[in-house]
Amino acid sequence: MTQLPTRPSTKAPVVPAPRTDLARVTALVPGPRPGPVPLASIQGTLALRFDNVPPPPPRSAPAPEMVERFATRFAHALVEVTSGDRSPQQLLRWTSERVYDDLSRRALALQQATPNDRRVRRIRPQVRSVRVFRPSPTAAEVSIHVRHGRRSQAIAVRIDHVDGHWHCTAVHFG
């Protein structure tokens, strides 16, 4: 392999000028410590001290009127799901996995058992009353009275306050 001749450089090499202000900066920075540097007890992670961190402020209990409003809205939506007027997916956000699975099974059974034309013509169930009992500030037990024409049904619901919103954790149909 042959090398091509290189042209001589006509530019002068650039050399940075010495800094005169470093003496002032280096006086503020301490020199290296003599001896070995101690290792952190946990390697590969950021070691933080949590002794001086104040505890988070206690969460206040939700207002009673918020619980009753949620319970009433949830009761109406629950009755609409169990009667086939609403999809159970609309309650996914406000129910636990077990409750959602139960509602989905009920909705599927209703859809397979009753033809669409008969579901449209029938008498729709009505929520007659919603009663809320609060055994603790973050939990509520709701009893729902539902009328189907001349028949009545009771539904018991347990809701808990989780991560800033109400969440249904249990449903029992009577």
Residue 139 lies in a domain: yes
**67: amino acid identity, one letter:** V
154's CB contacts (< 8 A; 6+ apart) are 143, 144, 145, 146, 173, 174
Taking residue 59's Cβ as centre, other Cβ atoms within 10 Å add up to 10
pLDDT at 60 over 60: yes
> Is there a contact between 139 and 159 (Cβ–Cβ < 8 Å)?
yes
Give the domain CATH number at 126: 3.10.450.50
pLDDT band at 85 (very low <50, low <70, confident <90, very high): confident
Q: Which helix (H) or strand (E) holds 65?
A: helix 64-83
pLDDT at 21 over 70: no
Residue 109 lies in a domain: yes
Highest-confidence segment of 40-49, 67-76, 114-123: 67-76
Residue 128 vs residues 72, 149, 154: alpha-carbon distances, Å: 11, 12, 10
pLDDT band at 47 (very low <50, low <70, confident <90, very high): low
Q: Quote the pTM value.
A: 0.63
Residue 134 lies in a domain: yes
Total count of domains within the chain: 1
Query: Of the candidates 83, 91, 109, which has an alpha carbon nearest to the alpha carbon of residue 166?
Result: 91
Q: Give the mean pLDDT of the chain.
A: 79
Residue 75 lies in a domain: yes
Minimum mean pLDDT among 13-17, 84-88, 89-93: which range? Answer: 13-17
Residue 91 lies in a domain: yes
Residue 88 lies in a domain: yes
Output 26 or 153, whichever has higher pLDDT: 153
